[in-house]
Structure 1
């Protein structure tokens, strides 16, 4: 069986993504993440437990060794497909996640290996999230949320959360605004309600608190100079 053919594969993949964001692995949060009913999430979790992929640890869920391996395969193939769709087929960046959900279901071991060869074994997906099993894993431990950056800072966008990728219109806005991994950002202002005024690629961009909470950045520094990021709490 291709991993994505498992009846509850989408739930397994979602649990992995939630773990990346530090979200507690509980059924209620899983249902919220996927936008499904509590009953649907409960049935899927029961199947995952029955198949030996997930265990209940009190109110929380945890992967078994087999579940962890399968989740990594699912996420890896999804993120490789995103690269293929954008770089080879020319699909717009903001549509890659949505389309990859369909494509990942038919990726075999052989096709995955061809993707790696063709794409050069990328360490992250086009949205900056790590690809499990990449030969050269990327270290994202030094990133901070944009929400924690103060006015006057210059930063580089490195990743956005999977939560944002679920919203096609948000992704379209980010692409049209130039807010994609690698973009240099100047923080012009931060309002009391958490709204940001940014300068990106010569354009002024207004960003709400929800988006700033889901964008991860690192300091940007001119050649030969040390980067400085001003904290909002400093």
Structure 2
């Protein structure tokens, strides 16, 4: 009996250890597509989605490249047109953004699903109280000094000054959310029904080694 009790305690400890590890294996709200992770490179992301270059159209703007899917994928419980944005500024491209566009009849359900997942969002309205957009944000880096220090180190290693002053010289990373997403609700906008998912900070925390300057 005593032996069984010791075995049970050992198993309980192992469960706690592995549970704790899994909680810290990624940062912030994960991408809206299962098994994707902020900071993945192009090869990794395509493997997760089961696609290749023939399944996307590539556009480039500055140091970022966006891969627009030719089909649809399930996001927030509804089929959506999608695109993946990667930052190519560093030594290895990293996934920093996802865009999803839904049919008008699916927008209300998507909004409700995101509210269940992330809590109440921040709404913007027109002067006559019509909704323009709703944004959901994770906690900012100022709520976690350890994570904030990691991101600041990445900026410094790339020759960018950081500061804690709102008007100081350099970038104040403390006010950056780990991830965020914005749903456009303005029916007069061409972006109506589009969600922009931003995981730039989470990508830095997930894969800091990929944020090294190009040689």
Give the TM-score taking structure 1 as reference length.
Answer: 0.24
Give the TM-score taking structure 2 as reference length: 0.25
More strand by share: 2
Greater share of helix residues, 1 or 2?
Answer: 1
Structure showing greater relative contact order (alpha-carbon pairs closer than 8 Å, 6 or more residues apart)? 2
- Bigger CA radius of gyration: 2
